[in-house]
Amino acid sequence: MPRKVCVVVTARPSYSRIKTALKAIQNHPDLELQLVVAASALLDRYGSAVNVIKEDGFDIAAQVYMVLEGENLVTMAKTTGMGLIELSTIFDNLKPDVVLTVADRYETLATAVAAAYMNIPVAHVQGGEVTGSIDEKVRHTVTKLSDLHFVSTLKAAERVIRMGEDPKTVFVTGCPSIDLAAEMLPNPKLDFDPFAKYGGVGTPFDLSRGYFVIMQHPVTTEHQQSREHILETLYAAKEFDLPALVFWPNVDAGSDGTSNGIRSFRELEKPTNFHFFKNMVPTDFLKLIFNSRGLIGNSSVGIRESSFLGSPVVNIGSRQAGRERGTNVIDVAYDRKEIAGAIRHHMGNGHYPRDPIYGDGTAGNKIAGLLAEVPLTIEKRLTY
């Protein structure tokens, strides 16, 4: 009988981080994919990632509506609790042999807790990394709840083992999001019109002279400053005579402040060379970044995929603090002068050498192969 692998996707970034593993699991003769789509991945205001998932040909075993409105610390905690309740029922119905959870969001914590308490082996992708904010606490907690660890880098593997996990359960697979970048590189041309394909808000403009991509999320430990943070970024980009393609933030506490700042900037400044999008298909988004003059903000795509692509990145603030990065990244504070200076520096350099810190583009197949072959157990052999 094929092993039943239940994968829970809770947000648009989570899907791009696991898409190639989903394909590999779906195509593996010894595995059966049970795909659960939950939380903000189901919501239109965050780009309806579920529609992209369906268009990519995946069957969805269950959908879980669990996001409480408010985008603050209280609703994050309550959403986690709601997810724990709902996912427990889903796992009881699907009866998977293993649950695969991704990265470090609070919904990831609900997934791991539900499966662990139900004696279902948990496999975790992207454990062992260091970042700022609440994400690091969640990531390390999920590591301790997990039985298999599919990490992106050697340093991440070393951290997981130092946390007491059995080295035999830790595998350096690389990050599945790098697989998408590797697939895109043979044909990196911007071969679609983002305005025609994705709509968005703002007047279409010519991209042939170059453009910036801006993607900035709130930081949960600094959520009250999220409006101020995004305004510093937008006004820094406004100093340059280049278009900017701006993406909506994720569902974390403070996203209302980030969204409010974007709307305020749009209404007060009425910029004719800024366009605002909710979401894009992962490969299209990577093409957009690769062909840009640089990515500005604090998304992990600037640290992971952009290092593999060699795309210039201005990383703002503390959200990615401590994460391994390539020479393509300049770190700055939430200060428009610092941000503008880093943009200016990148504009003089262009693309950087590609750096495979986070993998070589084969992570999805490696993860599927391991899920089919590695013994599944919930007995911890800690190495303290």
How many Å apart are CA 176 and CA 179, to the nearest integer?
5
8 A C-beta contact, residue 291 and residue 285: no
How many Å apart are CA 172 and CA 126, to the nearest integer?
10
Task: Please give the pLDDT value at position 382.
Answer: 58
Query: 3-175+359-373 and 184-347 share one CATH topology?
Result: yes
Task: Please give the pLDDT value at position 330.
Answer: 98
Task: Please give the pLDDT value at position 116.
Answer: 97
8 A C-beta contact, residue 305 and residue 178: yes
3.40.50.2000, 1.10.150.120, 3.40.1500.10, 3.40.50.2300: CATH of 184-347: 3.40.50.2000
Task: Please give the pLDDT value at position 383.
Answer: 60
pLDDT tens, per residue, the chain with 384 residues: 999 999 999 988 889 899 999 999 999 999 999 999 999 899 887 778 899 999 999 999 999 999 998 778 898 899 999 999 999 999 999 999 999 999 898 889 999 999 999 999 999 999 999 987 788 899 999 999 999 999 999 999 999 999 999 999 999 999 999 999 999 999 999 999 999 999 999 999 999 999 999 999 999 889 999 999 999 999 999 999 899 999 999 888 889 999 999 999 999 999 999 999 998 999 999 999 999 999 999 999 999 999 999 999 999 999 999 999 999 999 999 999 999 999 999 998 889 999 999 999 999 999 999 999 999 987 666 565
Task: Please give the pLDDT value at position 256.
Answer: 92
Q: What is the pLDDT of residues 37-72, one digit of tens each?
A: 999 899 887 778 899 999 999 999 999 999 998 778
Task: Please give the pLDDT value at position 135.
Answer: 85
Task: Please give the pLDDT value at position 134.
Answer: 83
* pTM of the shown model: 0.92
Task: Please give the pLDDT value at position 149.
Answer: 98
8 A C-beta contact, residue 152 and residue 174: yes
Strand pairing partners for 101? Answer: 124
The pair of structure tokens assigned to 207 is 């991209």
Domain layout of the chain by residue ranges: 3-175+359-373, 184-347
8 A C-beta contact, residue 309 and residue 286: yes
Task: Please give the pLDDT value at position 380.
Answer: 63
Q: What is the pLDDT of residues 155-213, one digit of tens each?
A: 999 999 999 999 999 999 999 999 999 999 999 999 999 999 999 999 999 999 999 99
CATH number of 3-175+359-373: 3.40.50.2000
